[in-house]
Structures are given as structure tokens and as C-alpha cells.
Structure 1
């Protein structure tokens, strides 16, 4: 069988399947229409009270939807602002922490270099004591700075959430 003959055979089979499907669809449509009740075309009149109640219900639903949509948009904005604030704060905290680490590592290398250059034990003890005092002061200052930044980030992040909760409570 050649390619042209195969194509012709396939096309004929496809056309036959389409015709069969269309015939079945027409039969199903006719059966559905026959099963549906017939209306005489007289308009159905909805009582005014029912129409008014339906209109009020639709209006109430619209108002509730608008309130919910507005609340969702406010919440989304609040979350985005809070996330942005927290991200900036964490970046600032990480920058200061990395700078502190760099300073401490450099101080340790300087200390070990100076320690290797000492000529006797008393110089090494004096250098160690001096280095420990200096590092204690530096570490205290770094811890204080990091603590201050952490408190600032926590406050700035929580403040919009707190204000939103207070606003919601006042509405209620």
C-alpha cells in the first residue's frame, strides 16, 4: 500500500467517524429537547416583594464583597510593607555582623602575629592581657550595636502589624 493510498484510507475513515459522531449528536439533541418541558411562552412575573428582596440581597452581597476585597488589599499591602521592612533590617543586621566578624578575625591575626614576635613570656602575657581587654571592649560594643539593630528591626516590623490590629479592633 502506498502512502497516498494510506492517506486516502485514513481520510475516509476519519470522515466516516465525523459523520457518525454528528449523527449521534443530532439524535442526543433531539432526545434532550423532547424530554424538556414545553413552556407556552407566557412571561413569568416575579412579585415585587420577591424582586425587592433579591435586589437587597444582591446589594448586600456586593457591599460585603467590596469590604472583603478592600480588607484583603489592605492586608496584602501591609504584609508587603512588613516583608520589605524586615528584609532591609535583616540586610543591615547581616552587614554589621559580617563587618564585626571581619574586624575580629583581623584582630586575631594581628594578635597572633604580635605574639610570635614577642621575645619572652612576660611580653606574651602582657600582650595577651592587653588583647583580651581590647577584644572584650570591642565585642561588647559589637553586641550592643547588633542588639540595637535587632530591636529596631523588630519594632519597625511589628509596628505596622500592631497598628493594623488596633485599627481592626477599633472598627469592631
Structure 2
């Protein structure tokens, strides 16, 4: 019975918390168990490193996205101000009309200007949204491409 051990695989603090009791395992299996424990620690370290990289990446993506959302919100506020000013100017001009034909002409002009402004505003908002999506996703795509190329 001299080749039977009842000690643990590792009391080594570098073992990463993997302490596997070997209850009456023959000496031949102890080496296999130690190799498996070593491999498990190595895999744990790889997963830990990948998790840290993903965490950093997500923080960066969130920061880019938050800035883009702030830019978008600022543009929406700017557009709202512009539209409110336009509506007030139209109301002021409308109050100064003297005939039905002036009201119709003024309304038609305002409608055309409003349509053109709305088209331009929507284009600006679309460009901001597209820029934010691209800037947010680019680091993530690069990181995944790097991860796929890295042998495990």
C-alpha cells in the first residue's frame, strides 16, 4: 500500500484555488491529476485574461456610445429650437397678413421651407446615428477578429 496517497493535489498558493483531494488514488494517477489541475489553472488564467479584455473593450464601447448619444441629443435640442423659432416667425408673419391670398402664399412658403428643413434635419440625425454605430462597433469588430486569429 505504499503507492497510495491521501494528500491533496496542491497546497501551492499559485494553484489558483484548485485543491483537489486525492482519496486513496494510486501513485500512477496522481501525475495525471496534477497535469489536469495544471491545465485547468492555465485555462482559468486564459479565461480570466479574456474576460478582462472584454471588460475594457465594453467600457470603451460604452464611452463612445455615450458620447454619440449626447451628440445626437444635442442635435435634437438644436433642431427643436430651430423648429420652434420657425413656427414663431411663421405665426408672427401670419398675424401681419391682410388678405386670404397672403395667408395662402405665406402658408405654402412656410410648408416648403419646413419640408426642406425637416429633410436636412433628418439627414443630419441619420449621419450622427450612423457615425455612432460605426464608432461603437469598430473596436468590437477588431477585437473579435483578433480573438478569432489568436490560437487557444
TM range (shorter): 0.7 to 0.9
Q: Which has the larger radius of gyration?
A: 1
The TM-score with structure 1 as length reference comes to 0.68
2:58 maps to 79
Can you give the 5+ residue segments of structure 1 that lack an aligned partner in the other structure? 1-42
1:163 maps to 142
Question: Aligned ranges for residues 23-172 of structure 1 at < 5 Å?
Answer: 46=5, 49-171=28-150
The TM-score with structure 2 as length reference comes to 0.76
Q: Root-mean-square deviation (CA), in Å?
A: 2.0
Name the count of aligned residue pairs: 130
1:32 maps to none
2:18 maps to none
Q: Per residue, is there more helix in 1 or in 2?
A: 1
State the 1:171 CA deviation.
2.6
**Secondary structure at 1:111 match in 2:** helix
Q: CA deviation digits over 1:149-170, x for unaligned, max 9?
A: 0000111111122222222222
Moved runs in structure 1, 4+ residues, more than 4 A? Answer: 43-51
- Higher RCO (CA 8 Å, separation ≥ 6 residues): 1
